[in-house]
Chains A and B, each alone.
Chain A
Amino acid sequence: MTTTRREFLRNSGALVVYFSLPASAVLSVASALAQDPGLSGNAALDTWISIEAGGTVRISSGKVELGQGIRTALAQIAAEELDIDLSRISMATVDTVRSPDESYTFSSISIMQSGTAIRKAAAEARRILLELAAESLGSPVESLTVQDGRIYRAAKVTQVDYWSLLAGQSFNTAVPQDIKTKPVGEYTIVGKSVKRLDIPGKVYGDAAFLQDLRLDGMVHARVVRPPADRARLVAADIASIEAMDGVLKVICDGSFMAIIAKREFQAVKAAEQLRAKSRWLLPEDLPDEAGLPAWLRSEKAKTYPIVHKEASTTRQAVTSLSASYSKPYIAHAAISPSAAVALKSDDGLTVWTHAQGMYPLRGAIARVVGLAESQVRCIHMEAAGCFGHNGGDDAACDAAAIAMQFPGRPVRLQWSRADEFQWEPYGSAMSIEVKAGLDQKGHIVEWDYDLWSCTHSSRPRGAPGAGNLLYAQHRKNPIEQPPPASIPQPAGGADRNAVPLYVFSRTRVDKHLVQRMPLKVSALRGLGAYGNVFAIESFMDEAALSVNADPFAYRLAHLKDVRAIDVLNKLRELSNWSDRPKTGSGDGWGVGFARFKNLTAWVGIVMKLRVDPETGKVRLDKVIAVVDSGLIVNPDGTRAQLEGGIIQSASWTLKEQVRFTNSAIQSGDWISYPILGFAEVPDIQIEIIDRPDQPPLGLGEAAQGPTAAAIANAVFHATGRRIRDLPLTPERVTMTG
């Protein structure tokens, strides 16, 4: 009896395929995998795709939905490659039991990583399904085509479809790296503004969020955090809290305290009482909020040379220019305070969480609670948009720690609004100094750039990162926090986008990474790119002004990157730049530009605004944005990401800073941490330079820096006042001379 291809697929394990490859093929696969993080370590096709009974296809990605629409875009890619209708795709939740391990959903790389992996996996699945169809129909593969999963032979419909061929069964093979994918010119789903798959459920009130998870026997928990990070518990009246109505347990472990109660309101009341009945020793160890730049420069720091490029011309600098810029601590300020559900059973620990990386979190939690990684399962569920590393991981660990002490019942932990504002890790404050030497023609020939900042990532990445979790730091036997991490170039952390895209003869860029972390900090949308692009693009405007050059012309004179030049030229034209009003009229137009990470999308922004000369209040009127992010998977999704990025960056730039005294955080609600509201949001016009022949590039964070610079430059243009410290509050706008 001969083994058919179909039986081979059903019966054989993936190992057979691996070992049947010649050594040269193994080597080429290995080198390709190194360039393809999505498939790296997740080569098995079944990890990504399964043909489900009932006419659907399940796609598993390791990337999570954060409100950015990634799952719809990935579904488009899969449907395109498989030749099926988008409605047939179901996107699986990221779950450490079965999903591919794609680490974190961060850095705007999901389309590049997971999208590439899914495209290849879907192409391989289609190829195998067509082979099976050819065998089943007794016709050569070349005679077959596919429409919505149905096989056609010589353009005539057959009784065979994907589901009759393989529903409910495994592929049992690995995804080859060199699989041929569909030519871009044949795309009918990718490149279209299809509607987000998750939106209908969210407008009708379906269970769409972690907050909607209700398990049988679930109890409610609240944490009672110290008034400040390094505060020490002196005394707490635990007994009176334990006697309160509905209270099931009070946990007191070092400076970690938590309440478990039958009903949520009982937990809230007990937490309030416990807070009132606890005495703490408060250290006064926070820096001076008003003197952050000086504080950053005075702290012990480790210096990392980022670029040291020797002079490439003999042109001499005849004038010099320097300026210092800063940004404060900024909160992620998700609309939903962090939450998690955890259940400890005999089998192990399950945690439902809205964190950004299920596998890294699993490793960290396993170490914290003392279980093997295989005994911990992390399942992603959505919450409000997080824009980086917010309280999600810490809430997950809190819930896990509480559940370990209350086995057998699901524990739902909800942080309060104040918990989120006071305990989420903020985007790091930065201080930046730029010095430039200009030649006789006003061209920049020398560039010196120094930046001081704490780390921009303290994610609890696996067991070694466990010490970054709040509970691990606060409990009686704490895990030491790892030293601040420096994310290397070209992506960079604090130094993300610290290297200008502009070309100078001599360039020096150094990062001074502050070693202490008195305020908890981690990744916020764009990391250092926001502060660096604000500084570089403000300085380019200052340099242009110093030689009476037009801001666009001056930038273009320092650029060689063709796609950057295209973006700026398009932006100048669309914004009617030649109609720019005179400086100091109260109406200001400003430009800001960057290529995110110098690796992904190019974004240029022109901001048109008005400054009230009496109050210093800035009114944003109109934004013109031009983007080039290569192939666009979903144009409306691209627009939404840019609109959101522009509005959020405008909010950071005009209003946001975490407030604190020398002992405690003062920002605790939407009054003490205001964000941009409906009345303040400008009109936004977005122009996409579509380049379907170029790879898709991440853009979710690409507008943050250019928007900040465009606002600062427009405020200067409106008032003649240069503000170099963010945010651009009315006080600063009126007071700066």
Chain B
Amino acid sequence: MGVNFTLNGKPVSLDVDPQTPLLEVLRNDLQLNGPKFGCGLAQCGACAVLIDGNSSRSCVIPVSAVNGREVISLEGLGTAKNPHPLQLAFIEEQALQCGYCTNGMIITAAELLAKNPHPDSADIKRALAGHQCRCGAHPRIVKAVERAAGDMP
């Protein structure tokens, strides 16, 4: 069965087991590095992507569920040449240690800023509550989102 969706603005068409987790399709078939495998249980947030603008756990979503929908990954959010304010802010605040959870933090923060361009630190912490970071970069991550909010157009 074929699956068709929009990935980072481009149409994608695949012939895969429709039950395959979206994360596996993005990483293995479409060679993306942004979304990461962390738990496969929707508990850590490393795999987050935007589906129709909502931060979603791609590790538990079967690829068939995004048929006809719009998926944006970290790569689609911005690039080194055309960065998203959050990406610049994470560099500026040095808001990561190992960087494995960073994808999910930026994706969920992007959803937050799209819906609430001027969140306070409590809003940011609430939005990121479902994301795990083992290195203890939390204070820097919050600062980076605050900085990006200030830089948003």
Q: Mark A645-677, 1 if CB is under 8 A from B, else 0.
A: 111100100000000000000000111000101
Q: Within 8 Å of chain B (Cβ to Cβ): is A234?
A: no
Q: Within 8 Å of chain A (Cβ to Cβ): is B1?
A: no
Inside 8 A of B36's CB, which chain A residues have their CB?
Answer: 209, 211, 336
Within 8 Å by CB of A335, from B19, B75, B98, B139, lies B98
- A717–chain B nearest beta-carbon distance, Å: 24
Q: Within 8 Å of chain A (Cβ to Cβ): is B150?
A: no
A669 and B40 alpha carbons, distance in the complex (Å): 10
Inside 8 A of B31's CB, which chain A residues have their CB?
Answer: 214
Of B50-58, B111-119, B128-136, the segment with at least 4 beta carbons within 8 Å of chain A is B128-136
User: Is B83 a contact of A204 with CB atoms below 8 Å?
Assistant: yes
Inside 8 A of A195's CB, which chain B residues have their CB?
Answer: 91, 94
Q: Within 8 Å of chain A (Cβ to Cβ): is B96?
A: yes
Contact flag A203-B102 (CB < 8 Å), given A211-B37, A265-B24, A336-B38: yes
Q: Mark B84-117, 1 if CB is under 8 A from A, else 0.
A: 0001001100101111111100100000000000
User: Is B41 a contact of A675 with CB atoms below 8 Å?
Assistant: no
Of A31-39, A312-320, A679-687, the segment with at least 4 beta carbons within 8 Å of chain B is A679-687
A337 and B47 alpha carbons, distance in the complex (Å): 13
Inside 8 A of B149's CB, which chain A residues have their CB?
Answer: none
- Tell me the interface secondary structure of chain B in the complex: loop
A557 and B134 alpha carbons, distance in the complex (Å): 37
Q: Within 8 Å of chain B (Cβ to Cβ): is A196?
A: yes
Inside 8 A of B101's CB, which chain A residues have their CB?
Answer: 335, 384
A263 and B88 alpha carbons, distance in the complex (Å): 35
Q: Within 8 Å of chain A (Cβ to Cβ): is B71?
A: no
A735 and B131 alpha carbons, distance in the complex (Å): 31
User: Is A66 a contact of B134 with CB atoms below 8 Å?
Assistant: no
- Mark out the residues of chain B between 117 and 153 whose CB falls within 8 Å of any chain A CB in the assembled complex: 124-126, 128-129, 131-142
Inside 8 A of A196's CB, which chain B residues have their CB?
Answer: 94
Interface centre among A67, A384, A651, A684 (most CB of B within 10 A): A384
A647 and B136 alpha carbons, distance in the complex (Å): 5
User: Is A335 a contact of B132 with CB atoms below 8 Å?
Assistant: yes
Residue ID in chain B nearest A264 by CB atoms: B24
Residue ID in chain B nearest A670 by CB atoms: B43
A490 and B52 alpha carbons, distance in the complex (Å): 57
Contact flag A202-B41 (CB < 8 Å), given A640-B94, A644-B136, A681-B138: no
Contact flag A678-B138 (CB < 8 Å), given A204-B78, A204-B83, A384-B100: yes
User: Is A669 a contact of B41 with CB atoms below 8 Å?
Assistant: yes
Q: Within 8 Å of chain A (Cβ to Cβ): is B44?
A: yes
Q: Within 8 Å of chain B (Cβ to Cβ): is A69?
A: yes
Within 8 Å by CB of A66, from B33, B94, B98, B103, lies B98
User: Is B137 a contact of A644 with CB atoms below 8 Å?
Assistant: yes
User: Is A677 a contact of B32 with CB atoms below 8 Å?
Assistant: no
Residue ID in chain A nearest B76 by CB atoms: A205
Residue ID in chain B nearest A382 by CB atoms: B98
A198 and B132 alpha carbons, distance in the complex (Å): 21
- B130–chain A nearest beta-carbon distance, Å: 8
- A656–chain B nearest beta-carbon distance, Å: 11
Q: Within 8 Å of chain A (Cβ to Cβ): is B65?
A: no
Contact flag A678-B74 (CB < 8 Å), given A200-B80, A265-B20, A640-B140: no
A203 and B93 alpha carbons, distance in the complex (Å): 12
User: Is B44 a contact of A670 with CB atoms below 8 Å?
Assistant: yes
- Mark out the residues of chain A between 327 and 373 whose CB falls within 8 Å of any chain B CB in the assembled complex: 333-337
Q: Within 8 Å of chain A (Cβ to Cβ): is B39?
A: yes
- Tell me the interface secondary structure of chain A in the complex: loop
User: Is A678 a contact of B131 with CB atoms below 8 Å?
Assistant: yes
User: Is A646 a contact of B136 with CB atoms below 8 Å?
Assistant: yes
User: Is B33 a contact of A208 with CB atoms below 8 Å?
Assistant: yes
Residue ID in chain A nearest B103 by CB atoms: A205
Inside 8 A of B102's CB, which chain A residues have their CB?
Answer: 202-203
- Mark out the residues of chain A between 144 and 179 whose CB falls within 8 Å of any chain B CB in the assembled complex: none
Interface centre among B28, B101, B131 (most CB of A within 10 A): B28
A677 and B44 alpha carbons, distance in the complex (Å): 11
User: Is A67 a contact of B98 with CB atoms below 8 Å?
Assistant: yes
User: Is A417 a contact of B40 with CB atoms below 8 Å?
Assistant: yes
- Mark out the residues of chain A between 398 and 417 whose CB falls within 8 Å of any chain B CB in the assembled complex: 414, 416-417
- B133–chain A nearest beta-carbon distance, Å: 7
Within 8 Å by CB of B33, from A69, A205, A648, lies A205
Within 8 Å by CB of A416, from B40, B98, B126, lies B40
Inside 8 A of B73's CB, which chain A residues have their CB?
Answer: 205
- Mark out the residues of chain A between 369 and 394 whose CB falls within 8 Å of any chain B CB in the assembled complex: 382-385, 387
Residue ID in chain B nearest A265 by CB atoms: B20
Q: Within 8 Å of chain B (Cβ to Cβ): is A450?
A: no
Contact flag A385-B97 (CB < 8 Å), given A644-B137, A670-B132: yes
Q: Within 8 Å of chain A (Cβ to Cβ): is B46?
A: yes
A644 and B31 alpha carbons, distance in the complex (Å): 31
Interface centre among A200, A204, A383 (most CB of B within 10 A): A204
A196 and B90 alpha carbons, distance in the complex (Å): 11
User: Is A384 a contact of B98 with CB atoms below 8 Å?
Assistant: yes
User: Is A335 a contact of B83 with CB atoms below 8 Å?
Assistant: no
Inside 8 A of A587's CB, which chain B residues have their CB?
Answer: none
User: Is B139 a contact of A684 with CB atoms below 8 Å?
Assistant: yes
Residue ID in chain B nearest A245 by CB atoms: B17
Inside 8 A of A198's CB, which chain B residues have their CB?
Answer: 99
Residue ID in chain B nearest A196 by CB atoms: B94
User: Is A264 a contact of B28 with CB atoms below 8 Å?
Assistant: yes
Inside 8 A of B37's CB, which chain A residues have their CB?
Answer: 211, 336-337, 414
- A478–chain B nearest beta-carbon distance, Å: 30
Residue ID in chain B nearest A334 by CB atoms: B134
Residue ID in chain B nearest A414 by CB atoms: B37
A68 and B96 alpha carbons, distance in the complex (Å): 10
Inside 8 A of A384's CB, which chain B residues have their CB?
Answer: 38, 98, 100-101, 134
A67 and B31 alpha carbons, distance in the complex (Å): 23
A206 and B91 alpha carbons, distance in the complex (Å): 14
User: Is A199 a contact of B20 with CB atoms below 8 Å?
Assistant: no
Residue ID in chain A nearest B29 by CB atoms: A263
User: Is A199 a contact of B39 with CB atoms below 8 Å?
Assistant: no
User: Is B40 a contact of A644 with CB atoms below 8 Å?
Assistant: no
- B81–chain A nearest beta-carbon distance, Å: 10
Q: Within 8 Å of chain B (Cβ to Cβ): is A207?
A: yes
A382 and B128 alpha carbons, distance in the complex (Å): 24
Inside 8 A of B34's CB, which chain A residues have their CB?
Answer: 205
Within 8 Å by CB of B97, from A337, A640, A646, lies A640
User: Is A336 a contact of B94 with CB atoms below 8 Å?
Assistant: no
User: Is B74 a contact of A204 with CB atoms below 8 Å?
Assistant: yes
Residue ID in chain A nearest B63 by CB atoms: A265
Q: Within 8 Å of chain B (Cβ to Cβ): is A310?
A: no
Contact flag A337-B99 (CB < 8 Å), given A203-B90, A670-B132, A677-B132: no
Interface centre among A209, A644, A675 (most CB of B within 10 A): A644
Interface centre among A195, A417, A636 (most CB of B within 10 A): A417
Contact flag A335-B87 (CB < 8 Å), given A196-B94, A383-B100: no
**Further 14 A-B residue pairs, CB within 8 A, beyond A195-B91, A203-B74:** A67-B96, A68-B97, A199-B91, A205-B32, A208-B33, A335-B38, A383-B98, A417-B43, A643-B137, A645-B136, A646-B136, A678-B125, A678-B129, A679-B126
Give 9 closest A-B pairs by Cβ, nearest first. Answer: A67-B98, A647-B136, A205-B34, A202-B99, A644-B136, A384-B100, A385-B98, A67-B97, A678-B125
List 18 contacting pairs A-B, 8 Å CB cutoff, sorted by A. A67-B96, A212-B33, A214-B28, A214-B31, A263-B24, A263-B28, A265-B21, A384-B98, A384-B100, A385-B100, A414-B37, A636-B94, A643-B139, A644-B97, A645-B136, A670-B44, A677-B129, A678-B129
